[in-house]
Amino acid sequence: MRPTHYMLPFIFLFSIFLFSATLSFSVPLSVQVSPVTLTNPVGTSGVMGVAFPGQREREEWEREQEETRKRDHRRIGKDQELFFFNDISPGSCFFLPKGAHIYNTLADFIKTEYRRRGFHEVVTPTLYSTALWERSGHWEHYSENMFTVTGPLNNSSLCSSLMFEQRVRSWRELPLRWADFGALHRNELSGALGGLTRVRRFCQDDAHIFCTPEQVHTHTHTHTHTHDSYHSVFGLCVSSIWILLSTRPPPCLGEPALWDHAEQRSLQQFGERWQLNPGDGAFYGPKIDIQIKDAIGRQHQCATIQLDFQLPIRFDLQYVGGDGETHRPVMVHRAVLGSLERMIAILAENFGGEECLCGLSPAQVIIIPVGGGSESYTQQVVRQFREAGFMADVDDDQGATLNKKIRSAQLAQYNYIFVVGEKECESGTVRREETDRGGPGITHTPTRHTEQPG
């Protein structure tokens, strides 16, 4: 058997026999399987393992596994008190204050970017009659993944359709750009749940564009060529981002000619870093997915843009054109970050828990007062930082030494550690202690960092 990769990734099941406290393995394979690493504890009737061509491949795999454990966003979330999960609401995340800061900062950032690009935010309900999903076609295709009492998927697209049909629309209004940040729910199988990367309740920066057929190319082209700037804000390497064009799946809605035309136009606009993904489009139209590779090589889907020729037909959406006749608009679904939960997981693991920007980090500034006469000035400094938009904390533990406080702040990964004593009170400054992000020094009153998102 010749391996097709540096690691021979076949999983096998051992039959275990216990004789005089000795394990004997019966391996139903005709090939040599050494070296071997056991991935589950021995003691049951089966053991899962991974075999490799040689010792070097095994050691490399073990290093990758150790790096994966170190960067696991679930561990980071627990250690830094960002978020947690509880069986009382399986697959739904509880964000603690520091995690909520990251969550809200991401949401504020993308809302600001949407406003800059002409989108208007809308607010939509959570509960709907099944008649809405039957009308849209989602019930036929996705009913097994729906909760029957909550908003089960990207429902803002249907709500946008309802908003569009409230009155007669003119071609002069197009393109209409609406954004919705409501909570979404999906009835994911318990075995598919995985921290923040696969949840049952999440928030997505969902936006929808109603446009003329002639305007479709402009919007898809703009989106696919601006995602680099969005992700570079968070320090994600552009070379780790590429595009997938997903074409018509076997069960789909609409005429094949419409699909073929949309797919060909999408292909024509791409440059480099794209791949064809046959048959993985949505049932209502082709889609373009932005894939991100994290620090340890795993792939995640985040941004997406999807063409929808079907909802305008199912909801009988029309606009009056310049010729005085009624025409059918095209709907474009788009999301830049994807779900906020998944983006937080990617950022946490990509940077090993050290958030990429001061503005995104929940541990931005900590003030450590020294001496008994600096409390008033300490509160003044904290107030200045908070008014400047920073997350500022104070360590006024009287029972800890200065060195212990500084070490605790470093372990908590604060961006800036400032010490305030008698000298700083007199000069109106703070003394910056060394962190991984910079050395010691004297700093004057705070100013907001220009690179802070949102």
Domain check: are 110 and 192 in the same one?
yes
422: containing domain: 365-443
- Return the higher-pLDDT residue of 334 and 282: 334
| pLDDT confidence of residue 119 | 85
What confidence tier does 356 reach under pLDDT thresholds 50, 70, 90? low
Q: Which two tokens stand for residue 362?
A: 């929940």
- Domain end call among 305, 324, 350: 350
**Number of structural domains the chain divides into:** 3
Domain check: are 211 and 274 in the same one?
yes
Rg (CA), the chain: 27
In a domain, 178, yes or no: yes
What confidence tier does 428 reach under pLDDT thresholds 50, 70, 90? confident
- Return the higher-pLDDT residue of 426 and 14: 426
Domain check: are 146 and 267 in the same one?
yes
Domain check: are 122 and 94 in the same one?
yes
Domain check: are 17 and 49 in the same one?
yes
Domain check: are 311 and 433 in the same one?
no
Domain check: are 102 and 210 in the same one?
yes
| pLDDT confidence of residue 140 | 66
What confidence tier does 367 reach under pLDDT thresholds 50, 70, 90? very high
| pLDDT confidence of residue 33 | 53
Angle of CA points 227, 228, 232, to nearest 5°: 120
Mean pLDDT of 382-387: 90
The rounded percent of the chain whose pLDDT value lies above 90 is 8
Domain check: are 64 and 103 in the same one?
no
Residue-wise pLDDT for 250-293, tens only, equals: 666 555 666 566 656 655 555 556 777 776 666 666 778 888 77
Residue with tokens 């003044």: 380
Can you tell me the distance from the alpha carbon of 1 to that of 32, in angstroms, rounded to the nearest whole number? 10
Residue-wise pLDDT for 73-87, tens only, equals: 888 888 888 888 888
In a domain, 210, yes or no: yes
Can you tell me the distance from the alpha carbon of 362 to that of 103, in angstroms, rounded to the nearest whole number? 10
In a domain, 82, yes or no: no
In a domain, 80, yes or no: no
What confidence tier does 305 reach under pLDDT thresholds 50, 70, 90? confident
What confidence tier does 441 reach under pLDDT thresholds 50, 70, 90? very low
In a domain, 359, yes or no: no
| pLDDT confidence of residue 234 | 75
| pLDDT confidence of residue 326 | 94
Q: How far apart are the first and last CA of the chain?
A: 54
| pLDDT confidence of residue 227 | 67
| pLDDT confidence of residue 327 | 93
Domain check: are 175 and 214 in the same one?
yes
Residues 355/326, Cβ–Cβ less than 8 Å = no
DSSP 29: -
Domain check: are 231 and 119 in the same one?
yes
Spell out the long-range contacts of 24-32 with Cβ–Cβ below 8 A and sequence spacing 24 or more: 31/1
Angle of CA points 276, 279, 285, to nearest 5°: 95
Q: Which two tokens stand for residue 48?
A: 């899962």
| CATH number where 265 lies | 3.30.930.10
Mean pLDDT score across all residues of the chain: 74
| pLDDT confidence of residue 266 | 59
Residue-wise pLDDT for 165-214, tens only, equals: 888 999 999 998 888 887 777 777 777 788 888 888 888 888 889 999 88
What is the distance, to the nearest Å, from the Cα of residue 292 to the centroid of all Cα atoms in its chain?
10
* 304-to-242, 250, 263, 356, 377 alpha-carbon distances in Å: 12, 21, 15, 23, 49
| Residue 132 CB coordination number (10 Å) | 16
What confidence tier does 323 reach under pLDDT thresholds 50, 70, 90? very high
Domain check: are 209 and 337 in the same one?
yes
Can you tell me the distance from the alpha carbon of 376 to that of 328, in angstroms, rounded to the nearest whole number? 66
What is the distance, to the nearest Å, from the Cα of residue 206 to the centroid of all Cα atoms in its chain?
13
Indicate the burial class of 425 (C-beta count within 10 angstroms; 0-12, 13-18, 19 or more).
buried
Cis peptide before 175 (omega within 30 of 0): yes
Can you tell me the distance from the alpha carbon of 362 to that of 99, in angstroms, rounded to the nearest whole number? 7
In a domain, 357, yes or no: no
In a domain, 453, yes or no: no
| CATH number where 401 lies | 3.40.50.800
In a domain, 133, yes or no: yes
- Return the higher-pLDDT residue of 118 and 34: 118
The rounded percent of the chain whose pLDDT value lies above 70 is 67
- Domain end call among 309, 325, 350: 350
Domain check: are 303 and 375 in the same one?
no
What confidence tier does 10 reach under pLDDT thresholds 50, 70, 90? very low
Spell out the long-range contacts of 213-220 with Cβ–Cβ below 8 A and sequence spacing 24 or more: 213/330, 215/174, 215/175, 215/330, 216/262, 216/265, 216/307, 216/330, 216/332, 217/265, 217/269, 219/175, 219/305, 219/332, 219/334, 220/265, 220/266, 220/269, 220/288, 220/305, 220/307, 220/332
| pLDDT confidence of residue 30 | 43
Nearest to 445 by CA among 358, 356, 365, 357: 365
- Return the higher-pLDDT residue of 108 and 451: 108
- Return the higher-pLDDT residue of 439 and 243: 243
